[in-house]
């Protein structure tokens, strides 16, 4: 049997709070996997208490100006890696331009945690249930990463997740920002989350985004990573079908790609059931 011990104290570690990106990258370069980054700490602190992580050095990145950028212009929404969810939610037009992202952030933890938690921390933890993952997938987010060794590079969110709590980040790499291209005009999107209580992670999360050129769905908590499914081709090939037949064709494709498991939050069949219902609700809105 797997037991998790939760200590009342944290393990011993050194703590630094650099003011520059250069210093942070250089610390990560020196200490590699002996160091961990702290943004909001809402995932990291429980991991320290459970001794899942026992780093020698914790690097707080909240004071780095470049990581606190939050900007919406006519090309991109840019979210710095240290920007808390509460602040992202204050952006004017977030709800109309990126409805699914807005809805997922409103459903994220509770008000207190949203004041600390970041989107970068959410994807860096790489839980299959990460609330921000579905919206980032359907909006083609680009993750900007920096390290001393590789300099600045970008990774598409689709290529970021590698498994349960695994991603493409090397120990010396830091997410600096997340960029989302402004969606095509008249893009509709939505995020639906089934959870057990107010501040629970999703037992199923379904995101959809649709415009004249493409229709995408993303699923969380139903596979080892958040997954993106492009149904644009099926939709355009089957436009003359009834809405119900169209849904059945699309659902068949989605059902073959998701692999929910049974765990403490839900049984596998219930997860399938909710994923189907939420997909139907979102698709119905798109076909109006
Ligand atoms: C009570 C509770 C409720 C929660 N509810 C939800 C929920 O509803 N939905 C949900 O999705 N999650 C939920 N979570 C999980 C957590 O709050 C989120 O995943 C949050 O977004 C993590 O962000 P953070 O800034 O706190 O990350 P941190 O805890 O600071 O960091 C998390 C991990 O990411 C790494 N990291 C952070 N920033 C960077 C960076 N810039 N570059 C590289 N690595 C980095 C850290 O080293 C660490 O390994 C909940 C957690 C708790 C404790």
Do 30 and 75 sit in the same domain of this protein?
no
Do 70 and 125 sit in the same domain of this protein?
yes
Question: What pLDDT was estimated at residue 265?
Answer: 86
Would 8 be classed as within a structural domain? no
Would 111 be classed as within a structural domain? yes
φ and ψ of 97, to 5 deg: -80, -40
Q: Please choose from 47, 56, 124 the residue to mutate so as to test ligand 1's pocket, defined by most ligand atoms within 8 A of CB.
A: 124
Do 173 and 116 sit in the same domain of this protein?
yes
Check which CATH number belongs to the domain holding 216 and give it: 3.30.390.50
Cα of 73 vs centre of ligand 1, distance in Å, is 27
Cα of 119 vs centre of ligand 1, distance in Å, is 7
Cα of 127 vs centre of ligand 1, distance in Å, is 9
Would 6 be classed as within a structural domain? no
The tokens describing 208, both together, are 């959809």
Cα of 44 vs centre of ligand 1, distance in Å, is 7
Cα of 121 vs centre of ligand 1, distance in Å, is 4
Work out how many domains the chain is built from and give that number.
3
Q: Is 80 exceeded by the pLDDT of residue 167?
A: yes
Question: Pick from 154, 181, 208: which residue ends a domain?
Answer: 181
Task: Give kind and range of the element (H or E) at residue 151.
Answer: strand 151-156
Do 46 and 119 sit in the same domain of this protein?
no
Question: Pick from 181, 204, 231: which residue ends a domain?
Answer: 181
Would 3 be classed as within a structural domain? no
Do 97 and 155 sit in the same domain of this protein?
yes
- pLDDT confidence tier of residue 158, bands split at 50, 70 and 90: very high
**Residue 141 burial (10 A CB sphere; 0-12, 13-18, 19+):** buried
Determine the structural domain holding residue 201 and report its residue range: 188-286
Do 53 and 153 sit in the same domain of this protein?
no
- Report the candidate in 143, 142, 148, 144 with the shortest Cα–Cα distance to residue 172: 148
Q: Please choose from 42, 49, 57 the residue to mutate so as to test ligand 1's pocket, defined by most ligand atoms within 8 A of CB.
A: 42
Q: What share of the chain is helix, strand, coil (3-state, %, to 5)?
A: 35, 25, 40
3-class DSSP state of 53: coil
Do 55 and 70 sit in the same domain of this protein?
no
Question: What pLDDT was estimated at residue 198?
Answer: 67
User: For tokens 């839900």, what's the residue?
Assistant: 266
Do 234 and 266 sit in the same domain of this protein?
yes
Would 155 be classed as within a structural domain? yes
Would 5 be classed as within a structural domain? no
CA end-to-end distance (rounded Å), the chain: 50
Would 7 be classed as within a structural domain? no
Q: Give the chain's mean pLDDT.
A: 95
Tell me which residue has its CA closest to atom 39 in ligand 1.
121
Do 93 and 192 sit in the same domain of this protein?
no
- pLDDT confidence tier of residue 5, bands split at 50, 70 and 90: confident
Q: Are strands 204-210 and 215-220 parallel, antiparallel or unpaired?
A: antiparallel
- Ligand 1 surroundings by CB, under 6 angstroms: 36-44, 46, 61, 81, 108-109, 113, 116-118, 120-122, 124-125, 130-131, 169, 174-175, 199, 201
Question: Pick from 166, 181, 196: which residue ends a domain?
Answer: 181
Q: Is 60 exceeded by the pLDDT of residue 25?
A: yes
- Report the candidate in 120, 90, 270, 108 with the shortest Cα–Cα distance to residue 191: 108
- pLDDT confidence tier of residue 2, bands split at 50, 70 and 90: low
Do 213 and 133 sit in the same domain of this protein?
no
Would 247 be classed as within a structural domain? yes
Q: What is the pLDDT of residues 78-119, one digit of tens each?
A: 999 999 999 999 999 999 999 999 999 999 989 999 999 999
Do 70 and 164 sit in the same domain of this protein?
yes
Per-position DSSP letters for 192-234, written without gaps between them? EEE-SSTTPPPSEEEEEEE-SS-EEEEEESSSSS-EEEE-HHH
Check which CATH number belongs to the domain holding 40 and give it: 3.30.43.10
Question: What pLDDT was estimated at residue 129?
Answer: 95
Check which CATH number belongs to the domain holding 101 and give it: 3.30.465.10
Do 140 and 171 sit in the same domain of this protein?
yes
């Amino acid at each position: 049997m797997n037991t998790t011990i939760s200590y009342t104290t944290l393990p011993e570690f050194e703590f630094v709070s650099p003011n520059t990106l250069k210093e942070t990258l250089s610390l990560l370069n020196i200490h590699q996997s002996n160091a961990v980054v702290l943004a909001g700490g809402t995932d990291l602190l429980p991991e320290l208490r459970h001794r899942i992580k026992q780093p020698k050095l914790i690097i707080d990145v909240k004071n780095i100006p470049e990581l606190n950028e939050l900007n919406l212009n006519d090309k991109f929404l840019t979210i710095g890696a240290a920007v808390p969810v509460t602040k992202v939610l204050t952006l004017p037009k977030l709800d109309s331009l990126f409805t699914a992202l807005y809805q997922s952030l409103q459903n994220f933890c509770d008000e207190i945690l949203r004041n600390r938690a970041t989107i970068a921390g959410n994807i860096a933890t790489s839980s299959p249930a990460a609330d921000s993952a579905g919206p980032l997938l359907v909006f083609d987010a680009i993750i900007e990463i920096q390290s001393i060794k590789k300099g600045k590079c970008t990774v598409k969110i689709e290529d970021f997740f590698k498994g349960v709590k695994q991603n493409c980040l090397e120990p010396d790499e830091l997410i600096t920002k997340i960029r989302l291209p402004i969606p095509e005009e008249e893009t509709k999107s939505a995020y639906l989350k089934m959870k057990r209580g107010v501040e629970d992670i999703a037992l199923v999360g379904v995101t959809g985004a649709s415009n004249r050129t493409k229709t995408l769905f993303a699923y969380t908590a139903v596979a080892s990573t958040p997954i993106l499914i492009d149904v644009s081709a099926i939709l355009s090939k089957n436009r003359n079908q009834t809405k119900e037949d169209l849904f059945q064709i699309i659902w068949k494709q989605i059902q073959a790609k998701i692999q929910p498991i049974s765990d403490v939050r839900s049984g596998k069949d219930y997860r399938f059931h909710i994923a189907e219902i939420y997909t139907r609700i979102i698709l119905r809105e798109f076909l109006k």
